[in-house]
Amino acid sequence: NAGVTQTPKFQVLKTGQSMTLQCAQDMNHEYMSWYRQDPGMGLRLIHYSVGAGITDQGEVPNGYNVSRSTTEDFPLRLLSAAPSQTSVYFCASSYGQGNYEQYFGPGTRLTVT
């Protein structure tokens, strides 16, 4: 199993550009989440999904969209990038159904200039 994969590993955007961060898992996990890591803030939950077709907002959802059309994939979209979205983004998945141990992807480092 590849576990949780994320692409790209690094990305530089200009303010106002859009892009999609990709996340995929091959463990048949129901739950998937996106977090961002900022200095002094730890990991903050952006959006999450409890199954295909179901998504919801986390702590810091503004500026991000998600969709979950398949169990495997959970892309995160930045519609109009802002410098405040410069961060490291982690995707994670878990079995759900009472087992919430998170398996994390390797992260995407995004810089918005």
Partner 1 sequence: ILNVEQSPQSLHVQEGDSTNFTCSFPSSNFYALHWYRWETAKSPEALFVMTLNGDEKKKGRISATLNTKEGYSYLYIKGSQPEDSATYLCAPPPHYGGSQGNLIFGKGTKLSVKP
Type of residue numbered 84: S
86 or 102: CB nearest partner 1: 102
How many residues can be counted in the chain?
Answer: 113
Collect all residues with Cβ–Cβ distance below 8 Å to 41 and sequence separation of at least 6: none
| Interface residue with partner 1, options 13, 76, 85, 105 (CB under 8 A) | 105
Whether 33 contacts 48, CB under 8 Å: yes
Half-sphere exposure of 1 (CA within 13 A, CB side): 11
Residue window 54-93: x/- pattern of binding to partner 1, with contact defined by CB under 8 A = --x-xx------------------------------x-x-
**Closer Cβ to partner 1, 17 or 86, answer by number:** 86
Residues that bind partner 1 (CB under 8 A): 31, 33, 35, 40-45, 48, 50, 56, 58-59, 90, 92, 94, 96, 98, 100-107
